[in-house]
Amino acid sequence: MRILITGGAGFLGSHLTEKLLNSGNEVLVVDNFFTGNKQNLIHLLSNPNLEVMRHDVTFPLYVEVNQIYNLACPASPVHYQYDPVQTTKTSVHGAINMLGLAKRTRARILQASTSEVYGDPEVHPQPESYWGRVNPIGIRSCYDEGKRCAETLFFDYYRQHQTDIKVVRIFNTYGPRMRLNDGRVIPAFMGQALRGEDLTIFGDGSQTRSFCYVDDEVEGIYRLLLSDYAYPVNIGNPNEISIKDFAEEIIKLTGTTQKVIYKDLPVNDPMQRQPNISLAKKLLNWEPKVGRAEGMKITYDYFKSLSEDELYKSEHKDFKKHIKN
């Protein structure tokens, strides 16, 4: 099987690349390396079944493949708000270009959508049938509405052109190869603990998240692509925790003596996030296996292994050269 992964040099994409190569597939990774990193793939580069191409999905791509995983898009507010127009283009133009490729090659295509399509939800936990509560003009809208529009395009291609589609709604995922300074809570807390800084909570810490270990997430995505189901499926871990309680877990895990400090909550930050995974259980016989304590220990060990330079770098790279007008 010849498989294309857009965003394959990113955190999640690199783990998916590894799984597909281990299953004996030929994998073409396409990435513009805005947030993706070659280091995430370096241990795989000797594999003759891996090909890596620098390419931006906002431009058409002409290759021959059997399956497509469309993961390309910055997923952290720090990165997707850096150039919000480009973020929207990545979701929308990227979907159009990859769907066009799937239509031409008759490839099966999976869209990596997100729990952010539910916005700041009034239904809890969130089932796939929930339409969401998203601010269409806020600073998070470039990501949230871009992903919602991508889902629209996928289902229009499904109805109009009978394109073979899958849509996964990915909830908070963590594990090795996360970018340390991307602003999300897990690398933020762990980085602060390793640097001996106070742990920063935005808001009062009552907001909740549900964290899924990357191996579980990748397995769910993989099973969905192989299924016969065309409609969205939540893949995430329903074990919910408040950010305040999570900070205490990180303090205990890392042994830091620093305190927790509180700052104002960012605009439109969701107050609760928890997947209803009944459909994934029934359809894919999938549920997460790695508990939070086990997964966080593995992730912390990964961050501890980073060099001093990486640990204290405020940004992993300068993004200016990636901006497209």
Question: What amino acid positions are annotated as catalytic residues?
Answer: 143
β strands within the chain, DSSP E: 2-6, 26-31, 50-54, 67-70, 108-114, 165-170, 173-174, 199-202, 208-210, 212-213, 233-235, 240-242, 260-263
141-161 and 84-105 are packed helices; what angle lies between their axes, rounded to 10 degrees? Answer: 20
Q: Smallest Cα–Cα separation from 18: which of 69, 57, 64, 63?
A: 69
Phi, psi at residue 213, to the nearest 5°? -70, 145
Q: Smallest Cα–Cα separation from 220: which of 149, 285, 135?
A: 285
Phi, psi at residue 210, to the nearest 5°? -130, 115
Q: Smallest Cα–Cα separation from 4: which of 47, 50, 45, 44?
A: 50
* Cα-based angle 119, 123, 126 (whole degrees, multiple of 5): 70
Q: Where are the alpha helices (DSSP H) in 23-109?
A: 77-80, 84-105
Q: Is 214 helix (H, G, I), strand (E, B) or coil?
A: helix
